[in-house]
Every structure is written in structure tokens, then in C-alpha cells.
Amino acid sequence: MISAGIVGGTGYTGVELLRILSLHPEVEVTKVTSRSDDGKRVDALYPSLRGLCNAVFSIPDVENLADCDVVFFATPNGTAMLMAEQLLARGVKVIDLSADFRLKDAKEWQHWYGMEHACPDLIQEAVYGLPEVNREAIKKTNLLACPGCYPTAVQLGFLPLIENGLIDVQHLIADVKSGVSGAGRKAELATLMSETGESFKAYAVAGHRHLPEIKQGLALAAQQAVGLTFVPHLLPMIRGIHATLYAPLQTESKLAEIQNLFEVRYAQEHFVDVLPLGSHPDTRNVRGSNNCQIALFQPQGENTLVILSVIDNLVKGAAGQAVQNMNLMFGFAENEGLHTVALYP
């Protein structure tokens, strides 16, 4: 049994971590931080956790968290980097769900996130937590950078094609839609129900913060720079990401052959499900689960392959993937605590 702390226990990803970890047989959540709710019982704020979590909210403080085996940062960008070095020095493993350690170039990070990085020396030490790519490195690290939700769905869709040199990596398109919970739990005009309900829009078309993260991962797989047009959209729903990916084929490949390639690539993965040909993945079929479902199409039999990839942005796109990484870091079964069937309807 290990002890876990959660910094930022009142945001959507923090609460999702509590939901998952409260039923994990190898974990006890001992510290949950919130400046505004300091001293309150966690289950008083979230009655769904009554009988499952006895923790009390406390101030985020290194000394308070130092007796944890692992600390999750479910915080805004720029928070984890202020505490990670001190926690690591005390032997605490750190799993950051924000973007503080995802990008390997500190100057690029500063460009996209608008602040100077507090501990650039740790960036190279951090392991990018996409288990389907970095499993062995994840097992050995003490500092884990959990991928973003958009990058998870997009990379899992493109990777088998890039790894096998089947597509033109200079002309990739990712047309991706997200539920409003991806914007976080804050009062903001753009995410009010009266603003998002019965509406649909693209945003950050000129450049989204997840773009360099996606390009970094795809470039590592391709062993060269990639060209990617990434356009995110906001859907009038709470959870879910639907990525429609377009990739020009470089060789004459039959769809059945590519389907087999995907099935073989993900055959041993607990949380990637390649659907039968002709299927259309639906976000409701992964809602609340750590699963990614993928389907392939080759419209009119021409040379553009369309990949459909869906995840729950709060689970495989955040808290669930963080727990999957934690399992690897501590030698637990990779799917421990994540045996959840998607909610339907």
C-alpha cells in the first residue's frame, strides 16, 4: 500500500483522481490540497466519496506532502514546477497532469505558456507519460509528465502509421472536438451552459498550446519534424474528445492491411481498442473509462486515410492515464484500479 497526495483536489481532474484512487486496492489518498477549502473533509465537499475517502483538505505545502510516496499535481500550468524539485529531493515521486514538464525545450514552453520555467534542469529528467510509447522509461522515472487530452487522442491515432512509414508526415491534419470540462472548473463566460449549449465552435485556430506537444511526440516517432494542422473545437457536452485525423498515404496500402497493422500494434495494450472496419467510435462508449477507441476509413478508396480516435478527456486524457502511469512506476498491474466500464447512456 502506498500513500498518495493530490495537489489541486477541487478541479475536475483532481476530483477524477479521487474517484479512481479511492477504489484502488494499492493506494491510500492521505493528502488532498485546496487553499480555499483548508480544514474541510473531502467527502463533505464531494458526498459521492463518503465512506471511501477520509482525507481533509490542507494547504499545498512541501513539508505536508513529503511523507507521501507519490504526489499528483492536478493544478494549473506553472504550479508543479515550483514544488517538484523539493519533493523529488525528499524521495517523493511526482506525477504532473499539467504541462510543466511535457515540452523538452524550455524556450518553447515559455513561448506557449507565457512564463519562465522555474526548474528547466528537470525538463530533461521528466518522462512523457504515454504508456503505449514510453512504458519502460515510465517504470524507472520519478518525474512523470502526463500527456494532454488532445495529444493523447491524436498521437494514438497517428502513431502506428508513422512508425511504419505509411504516411506523408508533412501534411497531417487533426480536427479535434472536446467537451467543456477540458477548460477546467472555473467560472468563465465562454464555458457557461448558456454560451456552449446549442452551439459549436472552433477555437485557438491560430495556435493551441497542445500543438507543440503533439508535434514533439509525432516527430520522435517519425525521427524528423512533422507538419501538422491542428484545429480544436468546443462541443456542447461535458466529457469526451473526438479526433478526426487525416493522413496522406505514401504507398498503395489496402485498408484491411492497415487495419491489421493497428490491431497488431495495440493488441497488448489494455486501453486501446481498435474497432472493426466500418465502425464509428462514439464518445459515450468511452465515457468514464480509461479507454481509447480507434476506427479507420479510406473514403472512396483514395490516398487519404481517416482515423477516428475517441477518449474521455478527464480519464485517458488526464486522471486515468496518470493512474496508469503510477501503476507502472510502482510495479503494480498496469490496469489496477482502472477496471471501469464506460457509462451508458
Query: Which residues participate in catalysis according to the annotation?
Result: 149
Look up residue 147 and give its amino acid.
P
Whether the CB-CB separation of 128 and 134 falls below 8 Å is answered with yes
CA distances (Å), origin 174, targets 23, 114, 275, 299, 300: 35, 24, 20, 16, 20
Radius of gyration for the chain, computed over Cα atoms and rounded to the nearest angstrom: 20
Q: What's the CA gap between 320 and 289, in Å, rounded? A: 8
Q: What's the CA gap between 81 and 4, in Å, rounded? A: 18
Region of 75 (left: φ > 0; alpha: ψ -120 to 50; beta: rest) is beta
Q: What's the CA gap between 34 and 331, in Å, rounded? A: 29
Q: What's the CA gap between 249 and 171, in Å, rounded? A: 10
Strands 127-128 and 143-145: parallel
